[in-house]
Amino acid sequence: MVAKIALEEHCMTPGLIEYWQPTMTDVPAAVADKVLGRLTDYSGERIEIMDRAGITRSILAIAGPGVQAERDPSTAVKRARESNDQLAAQIAKTPKRLGAFAHLAVQDAKAAADELERCVKQLGFHGAMINGHTRGLYLDDASVYPLWERAEALGVPIYIHPTDPVVPAPVLDGTKGIRRATWEWGFETGSHALRLVFGGTFDRFPKAKLILGHLGETLPYLLWRFDSRAKLYGVQLKRQPSDYIKDNIWVTLSGMYSAEPLQCAIAALGRDRVMFSADYPFEDAEGAGRFMDSTPMAEDLRKAVAHDHAARLLGLTS
């Protein structure tokens, strides 16, 4: 069993449950209760499952949408700070097993930047996870530049986690099972990342670090197409879109435990850009661990994907 660092591991703090509950309306109540129990468990079953999966450390983040759904900016800022303090207190009980991404109120980018710095320097967090758009505000917007500037200066990544689109895509109407996690979230999140690429965010902040789950939300498989169409439509960037995707973006395995897309992501992005995650409790962490242990690959690459790339990116020393 190879040692693993897991990067898309979800949790919940009391003041944010009201934002999460509407996302579970199509799930049986008993299942939602079980998931909430696991989200709010930091030292019991969570650690036991990590042990069985070979996960030495989990980097926790608030299950979406969190304060990304809050209408009032001041309330969002307050609740994000409270949540980060509560999460830090939980992590302090098992600091060698758990870490965290900061929860940020993008409604006020200056406050979000200050909170990110506080979380990194005072609480020991490893970056931030943003649960998609913030009431329609995407991370390429000029109002968010203070957050990117601070993240770049701190040298920490921002992880974009999927969320529901602002308006459900009509093309998905009338067909059961293809909304949300099946297809809609991947399209939404991949589009969010492409806004950053094509909108010049990485020209403005060349050292910015972005993480995407699900092996890159389909982006690694379309690099040639992005470059070709950017040239066709006269997109003005300093480099080709694929260069930014290869240099500024890292991807994790969350919810994509299949050899073929894993191999494709490694080939497209480079071996140092792909990292393990389990997506607990929304995915089977033990199953993810078994996949990482058994999928065909060279053993040095297995160790790097499972552990070393994340340790290097996040500056983890043990």
The CA-CA-CA angle for residues 57, 263, 98, to 5°, reads 5
Q: What is the DSSP string of 89-158?
A: HHHTTSTTTEEEPBP--TTSHHHHHHHHHHHHHTS----EEE-S-BTTB-TTSGGGHHHHHHHHHHT--E
DSSP label at 221?
A: G
Task: Of 200, 305, 186, 309, give the one whose Cα is nearest residue 244.
Answer: 200
CB-CB contact of 102 with 119 (8 Å): yes
53: how many CB neighbours lie within 10 A of its CB? 25
Helix or strand run (H / E) with residue 274 = strand 274-275
Residue 91 three-state SS: helix
The answer to whether 247 is a known catalytic residue is: no
- Cβ 251 vs Cβ 274: under 8 Å: yes
Catalytic residue among 247, 279, 284, 300: 279
What residues act catalytically?
279
